[in-house]
Amino acid sequence: MLNDKELYNIVVVGAMNPRIHVPFWYSQFNLISKEEYDAAIVAASTLATAQLSQFQFAGITVLCLPDRWEIKTTKRSDLDRMKAITQKIFDELLMHTPVMLMGFNFIWQKATNVANVARHLASRLVEMPFGLADVAPDSGEFSIRRVSENRLNAITVAPSPLPDSSSYVNISINYEYKFAAVGPFKLEDTVFARYAADQKEASQPCSEES
């Protein structure tokens, strides 16, 4: 039987330089320890090219493309460290990097009491007044979006994509923030001022038994 799974990530979209985001650079600014650096440089998953860089330390993964930087983990206990690393990089070390968008993603795979989540979600959808009553779908998913000023919140409830997981549901909650094209800003004063509230709000749908 599968276990419940979690995935958390912070994504920054802008003009990135993958050559910078390598273990050596992170170690020079004490973003990772010497032990974490030593492990990262010999890991098979570590990549360092002009178009893509990737490395892992203590269960946290950093991935950088020319237009996107991401830090992710499967452990909730890593969230504070991920936030601190992101803030130090883009508020202090690379504060001149043009940033257009930033997002938090909270993704859970949870066990349910439903034998087939895909068909259960589909059956609920065809009950809605959309003229789908005569359809016999095999799968379905729900998605809700809320927009306020520069903030987008999206919630998706869908079947688990993993094999042998018909009774598991995926709950994905995303918070996305857009930045003005001009003017300096700090993540600490803008997006991260909302981070604790977003994290608390995102945890609520997964705190009850399905």
pLDDT tens, residue by residue, 117-160: 998 898 888 887 777 666 667 888 999 999 987 889 999 999 98
81 falls within a domain: yes
93-117 burial, b at 16+ Cβ within 10 Å, e below that, comes to ebeeeebebbbbbbbbbbbeebeeb
One-letter amino acid at 69 equals W
3-state class (DSSP) for residue 202: helix
Laid out side by side, the sheet with 168-178 consists of 47-48, 53-57, 60-65, 68-73, 5-14, 99-111, 168-178, 151-159, 142-148
| pLDDT reported for residue 186 | 79
43 falls within a domain: no
* Distance set, CA 66 to CA 8, 13, 99 (Å): 22, 9, 12
186 falls within a domain: yes
Pseudo-torsion of CA 75, 76, 80, 85, nearest 10°?
40
Entry pTM: 0.86
Evaluate whether 167 touches 117 at the Cβ level (below 8 Å): yes
163 falls within a domain: yes
What's the average model confidence in pLDDT over 2-7?
80
User: In terms of pLDDT, which residue wins out, 95 or 137?
Assistant: 95
| pLDDT reported for residue 126 | 82
Burial of 79 (0-12, 13-18, 19+ CB in 10 A): middle
Distance CA 62, CA 60 (A): 7
Three-point CA angle 105, 50, 95, nearest 5° = 55
User: In terms of pLDDT, which residue wins out, 144 or 187?
Assistant: 144
| pLDDT reported for residue 11 | 96
75 falls within a domain: yes
21 falls within a domain: no
* Choice among 27-36, 122-131, 183-192, 193-202 with the minimum mean pLDDT: 183-192
pLDDT at 210 > cutoff 70: no
User: In terms of pLDDT, which residue wins out, 161 or 19?
Assistant: 19
Domain count, the chain: 1
* Residue 190 pLDDT grade (very low, low, confident, very high; cuts 50, 70, 90): confident
| pLDDT reported for residue 134 | 64
Distance CA 169, CA 189 (A): 35
54 falls within a domain: no
* Residue 194 pLDDT grade (very low, low, confident, very high; cuts 50, 70, 90): confident
Instruction: Give the domain range for residue 93.
Output: 5-16+67-206
What tokens does 36 get? 């974490």
73 falls within a domain: yes
Q: What is the mean pLDDT of the chain?
A: 88
